Amino acid sequence: MIASLSKWWARWRGTSADEGPTELPVRVKGTEFSRTTASPSQVKGIDQPLVWVVTTLVLWGLIMVYSASIAMPDNPRFANYAPHHFLVRHGFSIVIALVVAVLVFQVPIDTWERAAPWVFVASLLLLMLVLIPFIGKGVNGARRWISLGVMNFQPSELAKFGVLLYAASYMVRKMEVKEKFIASVAPMGVAVAVVGSLLLAEPDMGAFMVIAVIAMGILFLGGVNARMFFLIAFVLVVAFGLMIVLSEWRRERIFAYLDPWSKEHALGKGYQLSHALIAIGRGELFGVGLGGSIEKLHWLPEAHTDFLLAVLGEEFGFIGLLLVIGLYLWLTRRIMQIGRLAVAMDRVFAGLLAQGVGIWIGFQAFINMGVNLGALPTKGLTLPLMSYGGSAILLNLVALAVVLRVDHENRQLQHGGRV
């Protein structure tokens, strides 16, 4: 009985009954000065600062989506919507995304490596499916969505994740021949070209740009020869340049970006940009206050999606913009650190996968911010984790769950465990 109580007491204190006392005397030349408690180190399962930063961005985005969309029912186009319509739908998407992300976190990275080709093929099939009439849903002349009833799914978001998985897996498999262009780079280039052609048929040049950058980033981080890397980069720049030159409406966007205030563009292609700049200008240093935006009152189109940052700048000012930019910089840097640690531990696929997510989140946030601030031509890309969009928030949180899994496995290996 006494032995049982002793073991119970030892377990309650976090020690073993056979270990003996945990208070170890500290002696110098035979004199005891103090006692310290020796206890086993505890390993946290996830990167808590990263989780809190992501949570901050998601919740701030939810508030801004409500603020930017609350007045939309005043527009005859949205007369049947309640003031909280977009808030409820976005909140529902976040809940679904969190549930899926928790499930994804349970999947070992080795499983993702084996499933990479299948996820890529599935994304290709969905990109083809969205182009079929009566299946793909068109909005503003673009056919990018498949209606699932509870939400509209955008296959291009899955394509980003699919290319990310496939590129990381591909570089691991081609590690021995990465100095040879045909053997190592050409097949990956063909895969990205196929995805790009399907995206341009929607059309969705913004998603194609993100996917191309993800693939290029993983090729570079995977150790592809520098000459080959810059050759591919040059080919991509020329390709995107030709897409703009050969497309009249893309050329008009560039001209509108260069002079959004002209009579020719102020009410046309430069309308969104000019009103985004007005919104950010009204915010000044500290903003007009949450809910006080004027531009969201039917002046700035897509205020709750592509131009959410402009409304945030108007309501929270320059300080608010700096805070958001700082959060994205920290998030991207932390994800890249997790990836580098995995590579250093000889987990190349896991490292490239995590770093690919960092490139994805960082580059897309950079493009969206550049568009809202007038530094880049208008492009239909949402602000990751914050803008309204069911499939976007779903895949963003899934990708971050994979990063947390990489970090979790890194921690296990660092402390002598097994993945």
d(Cα 342, Cα 407) in Å, to the nearest integer?
A: 8
Question: What are the residues facing 34 on neighbouring strands?
Answer: 26
3-state DSSP assignment of residue 143: strand
- The backbone torsions φ and ψ at residue 142, rounded to the nearest 5 degrees and listed phi first, read -115, 135
Classify burial at 68, counting beta carbons within 10 Å of its beta carbon; exposed 0-12, middle 13-18, buried 19 or more.
buried
Predicted local confidence at residue 183, as pLDDT = 61
Residue with tokens 């984790």: 385
How is residue 71 written in tokens? Answer: 């007045």
- Structure confidence by residue, pLDDT tens digits, 359-394: 999 999 999 999 999 888 888 789 999 999 888 999
CB 113 within 8 A of CB 173: no
Enter the DSSP assignment of 336.
H
Rg for the chain, CA atoms, rounded: 25
38 phi/psi in degrees, rounded to 5? -95, 125
Cis preceding linkage at 203, omega within 30: yes
Beta strand residue intervals within 72-202, DSSP E: 136-139, 142-147, 152-153
Domains of the chain, residue spans: 48-414
In the prediction, which pLDDT does 50 show?
95
Residues 6 or more apart whose Cβ sits within 8 Å of residue 157: 207, 391, 392, 394, 395
- For 28, list phi and psi in degrees, rounded to 5: -125, 115
> H or E element: which one contains 137?
strand 136-139
What's the confidence (pLDDT) of residue 8? 44
φ/ψ of 27, rounded to 5, equals -120, 140
Enumerate the β-bridge partners of residue 247.
Answer: none
Q: Are 129 and 135 in contact (CB under 8 A)?
A: yes
For the chain, 419 residues long, give each residue's pLDDT as a single digit of tens: 444 545 544 444 444 444 444 444 445 445 554 444 444 444 557 889 999 999 999 999 999 999 999 988 887 777 788 888 899 999 999 999 999 999 999 999 999 999 999 999 999 999 999 888 888 776 666 777 788 777 788 899 999 999 999 999 988 887 665 556 566 677 788 888 899 888 888 888 888 899 999 988 998 888 777 777 787 788 888 888 888 887 777 888 888 888 888 877 777 788 888 889 999 999 999 999 998 999 988 888 888 888 999 999 999 999 999 999 999 999 999 999 999 999 999 899 999 999 999 999 999 999 999 999 988 888 878 999 999 988 899 999 999 999 999 999 999 888 776 66
What pLDDT sits at residue 177? 54
